[in-house]
Every structure is written in C-alpha cells, then in structure tokens.
Structure 1
Amino acid sequence: MRLVKTQLRYITLCATIAICACNSGEEESPNIDIAAPVSVEQITTGSLSRFTITTGNATAEKVIKLNAQIGGTYILKNHPSYKRPFKLGDRVKAGQPFVEIQDQEYVNGIGLEAAKMNLELTQQEYDKQKSVFDKGGVTVRELKNSELSLTRARNELESAEIRLAKMKINIPISGTIVELPQYTSGSQIQQGDPLVTIMDYSRMYVDVSLPENTMMDIQTGQKVQITNYSLPDDTLSGSITELSPAIDINTRTYLAKVRFNNPNLLIRPGMFVKTLIKINQKNDIVVIPKEVIISDQRGKRVFVVQENTAFERIIETGMENDDMIEVISGLEENERLVTKGFETLRDRSKVKVLQ
C-alpha cells in the first residue's frame, strides 16, 4: 500500500513538471505576425464614361427595286467591266445599260417618227403665223391657236420618247445587285415583273430602342460606336440623326435612328449590330477597378498600403461602367490601392508588396 502511494506521488509530480514546462514555453514563444503578399497600384485621377448598349439590324441607306414597265422580250446586258451578263452580287455604277425589253408592236404604237414630223410642221406653221402677226395679217387668237398646236406637238414627242425609254433600263444608282430574278435572255416577261434590286450600303442606318431613363441624356448629333459580333475588332463611327419623343408604354423605350458610313462594306445589309451610345462622362475623378471593392453590411471597403501596413477605407462611389467606378470619398490621389491579395486582409494587417 505504501509502495502504491509512493508511485502515485511520483506520477503527480512528473505531470506537474510537464504542465509547468509547457506553460513556460508558451509564455516565451514570440507573437509572429506574418506579412500577407499583396499587389498595389497608385491611385490617379482620370475620366469615366457611361454607355447604353442597344442592338438592331443594319439597313442600307439607298435601296431601289426595278420592275418592268412594259412587257416584251427580255434581253440582259453584259457588265461593262466583266464582259459577261450581270450577276447577283455584282458592283454596279449608275447609268450602266442593264436590260432591254424588245417589242416591235409597242414601238410602232408609239409613233416616234410621226411625232417628230408633226412637231416640225407645227413649228413651221407657228413661225409663219408669228411673221404674219407682226405685220398685222392675223389676229391674236389665230396666233395663240398656232402656239397651242406647237405645245401639243412638243408634248406628244416628249411622251413618245418617255414611252420608248421604258424599253431600255439603266442602272439607277451605284451599289450592289442583291436580287436578280432568273429570266432566260430572249424569254417573254410581263409588265410589273421584278427586274433587279440594288443596294448602296456604303452608308447605312439602324433603328434602336433606348431605355426611358436615357431620354434626357441623348440628343440628335450624338456620336455612336457600331460593331458586329462577327467583327469585334472593327468599330465604325456614326451618329444619332432622329429621335422619337414618344415612350412605348409596354417596353418603356423610345426609338432612335443611327446612321453611319460603311466605306469598306464590312457591315452587310440585315446584319445584327451593337451600338454603344455615350450618355455621360466625368473627367478628373478618382477611378478604381470595381473588382477590388469588398461590399458587405458595413458598406463598400478597400485597402490602401502605408509603410507595409494595410489600412481599411470605407468609400462612397458614384458613376460606373462595366469595369471601373468613381470614388467620391474615402480615397485620395497618389495613395497605394491594394488590387490583389485584399480578400484576407484586416485593418492594420502587415503586408508585403509584390513587385
């Protein structure tokens, strides 16, 4: 029994020594604050723009569709540059002969030569009557009747020439053939049959719907950037030329027409395009990336570094776009803003700035 008590006292003594040794080690261990690696950028002032983005279909500014004004035999002319009949997609110039419609019966019915002869005779008769009138040989009424006959003869000749011109169709505008019905040369066509559709899409427009809250910020003449999703690196410049004052009660939007030059014909008629319209811009303001802001119940926070210590700043923000945001208060120019590694920081955390 005495041996057991001795052993218990020995075990208790060893445990007490061990606990004291552990406590002593904890008190002597230094409190090490590990510096967190961060990246920083110097805060500078700059400008910030806000855009509204809309989409729409690009439409050629000039489109002309030609139909046959008379029936007859269809003869398609050769393209003067390619020395072959015109084809779909050909670039054409105004005035080039395009189609001839032949109908001898129609030509005979016009009576062009008879109209010319009639004009010649009535002109001679008028000149004779006027000479006699100057000598007092005819009355004013007789002279006026002769003048009326001359006017009618001129009108008849002009009408004959207009009717005859319907047989020969020239290209009306410079552009591109976008529709060309397939008729066999020498076949018969009817009055009203379609002949060709030509588009000049070197200048285009797009109708867009703009949100109601932008109405006070947008006006005619305002610059617009136009892009196509298949041509993201090619941006064209245009402007707003027309604005509707009416708000659609269902969509809460209003219509605007944007016109733009398309000199290299990169945008094709009917393409879906995106328009960027600048609705506001501020200059000489503190601007920071939106991604460095921590937002919680305390507000919007960022960290700045001074002498290898991170300090928390509560900020107030203003205008923003997709990537950047204006800081109204809480930051000063030339401070060093933490842009990477801020997620685990606390106020007054030690940091190591990475180069």
Structure 2
Amino acid sequence: MLRRALPVALPFVLIASLTACGGGDKVEPPARPALVVQPIPAGDAVDTYPGEVRARLEPELAFRIAGKISRRLVEVGERVKKDQPLAELDPEDVRLQLEAIRAQVAAAEANLQLVRTERDRYKTLMARQMVSRSQYDNAENLYRAGEARLKQVKAEYNVASNQAGYAVLRASQNGVIATRKAEVGQVVAAGQQVFTLAADGDREVVISLPEHAIERFKIGQVVAVELWSQPGKRYAGLVRELSPAADPLSRTFAARVAFSEAKVPAELGQSARVFIRSGEHVPLSVPLAALTAEKGQPYVWVVDPKTSSLKRVAVKVGAYGEERVPVLDGLSPGDWVVAAGVQVLREGQKVRPVDRDNRNVQLVAGE
C-alpha cells in the first residue's frame, strides 16, 4: 500500500513546495561589482591635434575663358616656375574669333578712309559755296562715326587677342603643383579650378578643431608643433587663421598654424602634431572608459555613497586625450565614477564598488 501511495502523493508535495516558494518575499538580484574611481586633477591640459604641412599661399589656378583642354603639361608634385605653361585649351574657337574681329578692323579702317575723303571733299565744296552747311555736317558726322567704330573694333580685337593668350594656363609664381582638378578632353568653364599651386615660401600646418571646443581657440594663440619625421623635437608656432564656418561633413573648424621660426625643415605633405595648451582651468579628468553619451550629450555614472546606487550625471568635457578626458563641468573631486562597463548600466541600479584589484571600496561622500 505504501509503495502505491508514494507516486500519488509526490506531485502534491512538489506543488505545495512550489506554492510555498512563490508566496514568499521577492528575492533581489545581488549587486553587480562596478569598478569605481575618483576624478583626479588634470593639471595643465594640453590638447593634441594631427595636421599636415601645407604652403601658406595656395592659389587655385584656372583658365580665364571657357574651352576644352587639349594639353596638360605638368603632373602633381612637379616644381614649376612663374609663367611656365601648365595646360592649354583648344585654340580653334579663339583663333576664329580673332580672325573675325581682325576682318572687322580692316573693314572699319576702309570705311574711315572713305568717310574721311568724303568729308574733305565736302569741306572744299562748302568753301566754294557749292554745298550747304547741313550737307557738310552730315559728312562730318559720318566721319566721326567711322572713327568711333574703328576704335571700338580695335578694342574688341585687343580683347580677343588677350583671350587667345588666356588659352594657355601659366603658373602665377614659383612653387609645386599640389592638386589637379581637370584632365585632357574635359570642357571647363571660365574660372573653374584646374590646379592648386603650393607657392614657395612659408610653410604652415593645417589642423581641424572640434566644434564643441572652438570657443577656446583664438588667432595668435601660442602652440607647439612636432613633425613626425623629427619625434621629440617641438617648434614654436601660433594660430594664424581660424575658419569662420565648420566643414559640412566633418563638423570641424579648419585652422592654420604658422611657425614662429624663420627656417623649419618642414616639407609639403608631411604629417605633424600640434600641441595647444588649454586657456581655461580644467580641474578634473576621468578615464575615457568612464564616459558615454546619449543624443550628443556626454555623461558619467556616479555612485551614491549612501545607497550604492547609480545616478547619471551630464558633464561638459574638453578635448579627448589618449587615455583620459578633461571634465570642464559636472563633477566634483569627491565623486565616485564608474570606470568600466558603463554601456550596460541603468539609473538607480545597485552596485558593489570595487577597485582595479577587485577589492571592495568603502565609499566616502565627497564634500
């Protein structure tokens, strides 16, 4: 009888056990460990920006008339001298226009000769009182019109002659061809860029400044420049030019840094780093891993020392460094900031603060 009763009673025992468990208090999940650190003084904040050595003067070279490019005489990187031919347009249309205006000049000269002779004849006849004054005045007016017409077509001929010269694109000064924007066979408009010339002379470093920190930079600000070909050696420089508008793609502001020294061994296209000391006081910094953002607003997770729960705190940051980021506003020295795994945390979550050696940290409220 006992053996037959056990299979029947066992399900009721299990159901009673499960019912007892379900009716008890809700068990909270254990607090997850969280690596915490306190912000430390950032010291003298120095921002580093990569850049490229460029010429101070970079004129864009273009034809002054429209046409089809028939010859390209230089390559990118080639050194050129002032007035050296760089490219040519198909001269056929310009030549025909010049010949047409030359024919107009010949016709105007012949017409002027005719009306001059006619005027002189009427002048003689009027002296003999054989023609009226009005007839002479008409001949005089025809002569003046012919003279004006000749001046007009001669001016048009000079313009056409100049345009024939414009069919050859020449270097405006000594330098190096930096970029090429057109090829043989391409039809270009007047003023359309064909080459960029890196003129001989001073060299500069072009950098891009972040949009959120552009107000910290100004023209004339002292910087230091390090060439990648000469690591460890820094040259004094200053911010010479700041773009008034951000690049539509990168949303950064272009800046040009001039060398303070007259002779710096910087060649076109070399890579460089520009070090700019922050002009404002940056008291604190946190590890890069402690920072996250939502909808463009950076924030960190701060642990409440009393409850060990998380609170999201919005911060204002400076330029990112290699390992840390300066915090301009939002934190105090006594805050405890989560420094790892910040993407999976949530507001109000309970955590167990630990250090880098996985030892429990006794949080002390900051002042």
Report the TM-score when normalising by structure 1. Answer: 0.43
Report the TM-score when normalising by structure 2. Answer: 0.42
Higher relative strand content: 1
